[in-house]
Structure 1
């Protein structure tokens, strides 16, 4: 029996579980998928709120903008938009990196850098909203 025949024989005898081993967990993917869908659904009304706010504040000076953001409702919705948007971004980029970066070390470094940048940008955005809300 040639080595090619042996390899074929081994492939045929392996179970579906054996072939799937090492390809990731079948349990964690559905939670990630649902989280992406829920954040996307939450971003729809929050994005519309953001667009309406921008239209309302078009041409406004800093004092008017600060007064608008001082309203608890407005600042809370902006903070929710920031948190959900950056979380959604993080999950989406994680999937892309896990799918298209084959080397495990590069994938881990890329994920850490991307997540660090996302956290920094989310915090900077939240600080900006809070500065306006409390000025």
Structure 2
């Protein structure tokens, strides 16, 4: 396979980071998971949430808790990967990019911890 890099880039070691495929697969897997989970979650929630007590009972049910955790885990992971791509593509200052990527990861981790805590609190 021909190498299209310039002689200078070969010397300083610039080239592909070799991490794009894992990111691509993660986005596709989470999108496929959401394609199946989200409609099931929304229909189940709509059928079981006429009131706050019914929504509480839905999440307290083991299947409802598992469905809620699986759906929101896939959604938060997919969101994190999507925002990461936007930041990497459109933010060019290295310091700003680093701050935004760390903030994105921490925000998504915080959201997931809040979801996990809430579901476990209701289900217990």
For the aligned pair, the TM-score class normalised by the smaller chain equals 0.7 to 0.9
Gaps of 5+ in 2: none
> Are residue 38 (structure 1) and residue 23 (structure 2) matched?
no
The corresponding residue for 1:16 is 4
> Are residue 50 (structure 1) and residue 38 (structure 2) matched?
no
The corresponding residue for 1:12 is none
Whole-Å Cα distance in 2 between the matches of residues 127 and 96 of structure 1?
29
The corresponding residue for 2:71 is 81
Whole-Å Cα distance in 2 between the matches of residues 101 and 50 of structure 1?
35
> Are residue 126 (structure 1) and residue 116 (structure 2) matched?
yes
Do the aligned residues in 1 keep the contact of 2:49 with 2:55 (CA within 8 Å)? Answer: no
Find the residue that maps to 1:22 and give its secondary structure. Answer: coil
Do the aligned residues in 2 keep the contact of 1:90 with 1:115 (CA within 8 Å)? Answer: yes
Change (3 A) 1:95 1:108: same
The number of equivalent residue pairs is 118
RMSD of aligned C-alpha atoms? 1.9
Higher-RCO chain (CA-CA 8 Å, sequence separation at least 6):
1
- 1:70 deviates by 2.4
Q: 80, 98, 101: which is aligned to 2:91?
A: 101
Whole-Å Cα distance in 2 between the matches of residues 55 and 34 of structure 1?
31
Do the aligned residues in 2 keep the contact of 1:82 with 1:126 (CA within 8 Å)? Answer: no
- 1:23 deviates by 5.2
Gaps of 5+ in 1: 1-14
